[in-house]
Amino acid sequence: MTKRDLLHKLQSVRNTERGIVPDADFVMRTRENLMIQVKNSIPLASGSVHVKSFSLKTFFSHRLFQIVRAPALAMFSVVVTIFGGSVLSVSASDRSLPGDFLYPIKIASEQTRLVLTSDKAEKLKLKAQFVDRRIEEIKAIATTEVPEKPVRLKQAAEVLKRDLNTVKLQLSEVKDEDTMAAAEVVKIVDQKSSEIAEQLKQVKDDAPEEVKESLAEAQIAAVHTGVTAVEVLIKASENPDTQWVVSEADVKDSLAKKVDSINETLTVSADKLRVINDSSMISASQMQATGTGVNPLLGMTSSTADQLNTASSTLQEARVLLSENKLTEISSKLLEAVKAASQAETATNQLVASSTQAVLDIPVDNSDVQGQSTTILNKTESTATSTNITPP
């Protein structure tokens, strides 16, 4: 039996053990018997039992007391001084959104919880929960009618980006922990970052134009965090202490999902670009016919196509590394592909806006042109599901 088989058997025993539940009759019977004995012996015991004086040290060990005392008192004074110590205000702030009066209290109370957590893995888990709150805040602002929506969305995206960067730093701190608890938390972070990137993509599609860039940056930060998490998982999958929490198959599965997600972004951008290219050709010929000059969109589409090509070939290299099982080399390649894909996406979106404007500016029969721009937009939506990237 190999060491791996042995660890699998241990895991299987552990899983079974977790499912064992004692017989309810036995639990109740034993409880009743014990309680009879306890109630009978308590009065007799009271004389001999020496009760220590009540103090915080009754509950904390001396070492724990020393560690916790200083930061706890410091944070307590800060919270009392700044927020007047109102528990109610902290509780009310939980529902606040970026831009609200109570929002800074929400952020500060999260910071307090983080400061009071000493275990690195627990800290990461807590921060991941806070990142979840950030995406919920973004969705809440995006789906409800709130004043100054673009400003608040931008602010929420900035806070999310900052929190994701903190998670990334925390990931590098737990990298050397080599514990099962840490590996399990990193797995959660990996999964959550993919979900966040996906949710941001959906919010971004319907968001006002001026906040799309901020949301795209937050999306890159989410993917970046996911890739960093996978780097830690790769290490965990090679460590005998943690490899049965994170297997190589888990890591490959996560990497494959990331490759697919980047590929999807590239496909959508490529389809949009193809539509813009077609419309540019049409408008260029119209400009030529009316003698109003050369369509500038033609040059822009070709540079965006180059960006898309770069992203696509980088992604292809990442895919090859994955198929060759070169897991340690793939993360940098994926990050490169994400950045390139995002730049291409931003450029494509700017082109979509410019092309609509350019079509409207052509001094020909307006009814025809309006018809064409509508066709362009419809075509963009209808081709977004295509999977082949063939830049124009």
Partner 1 sequence: MSQLIDQYQLYRIRAKRDADAFASIYDRYITSIYRFVYLKLPTREAAEDVTSETFLRFWNAILQNTEIRNVRAFLYQVARNLVVDYFRKEELHKYVVTNDEDVTSSYSTGQVSDRGREQKLIEARADLRIVLERIERLKEDYRDVLTLRLIDGLSFDDIAIVLDKKPGHVRVIYHRAVRALDKLS
**Where does this chain bind partner 1 (CB under 8 A)?**
1-3, 6-7, 9-14, 16-24, 26-27, 30-31, 33-35, 37-39, 41-43, 45-46, 48-51, 54, 58-61, 240-241
Tell me whether residue 13 or residue 67 sits nearer to partner 1 (CB atom): 13
Least Cβ distance, residue 177 to partner 1 (angstroms): 12
Tell me whether residue 62 or residue 81 sits nearer to partner 1 (CB atom): 62
Tell me whether residue 60 or residue 317 sits nearer to partner 1 (CB atom): 60
Tell me whether residue 43 or residue 147 sits nearer to partner 1 (CB atom): 43
Query: Three-class SS string for 328-349?
Result: HHHHHHHHHHHHHHHHHHHHHH
Least Cβ distance, residue 268 to partner 1 (angstroms): 44
Tell me whether residue 5 or residue 206 sits nearer to partner 1 (CB atom): 5
Tell me whether residue 60 or residue 350 sits nearer to partner 1 (CB atom): 60
> For residues 8 and 280, what is the distance between their CA atoms, to the nearest angstrom?
60
Tell me whether residue 31 or residue 95 sits nearer to partner 1 (CB atom): 31
> For residues 284 and 278, what is the distance between their CA atoms, to the nearest angstrom?
10
DSSP secondary structure of 184-236: HHHHHHHHHHHHHHHHHHHHHHHS-HHHHHHHHHHHHHHHHHHHHHHHHHHHH
291: left (phi over 0), alpha (psi -120 to 50) or beta: left
Least Cβ distance, residue 18 to partner 1 (angstroms): 7
Cβ contacts of 170-177, under 8 Å, gap ≥ 24: 170/120, 170/123, 170/124, 170/127, 171/124, 171/225, 171/228, 171/229, 171/231, 171/232, 172/228, 173/120, 173/124, 174/120, 174/121, 174/124, 174/232, 175/231, 175/232, 175/235, 177/120, 177/121
Least Cβ distance, residue 248 to partner 1 (angstroms): 18
Tokens 């509780």 locate to: 91
Least Cβ distance, residue 121 to partner 1 (angstroms): 12
Least Cβ distance, residue 176 to partner 1 (angstroms): 14
Tell me whether residue 16 or residue 144 sits nearer to partner 1 (CB atom): 16
Q: What angle do the packed helices 120-143 and 149-174 form, to 10 degrees?
A: 160
Least Cβ distance, residue 3 to partner 1 (angstroms): 5
Least Cβ distance, residue 31 to partner 1 (angstroms): 6
Q: Which residues fall within 8 angstroms of residue 134, CB to CB, at 6 or more apart?
A: 156, 159, 160, 163
Tell me whether residue 6 or residue 294 sits nearer to partner 1 (CB atom): 6
Least Cβ distance, residue 339 to partner 1 (angstroms): 39
C-alpha distances in Å from residue 75, one per residue of 78, 131, 174: 5, 22, 24
HSE at residue 360, side-chain half, CA atoms within 13 A, is 7
* Nearest CA-CA partner of 166 in 221, 96, 241: 221
CA diameter of the chain: 109
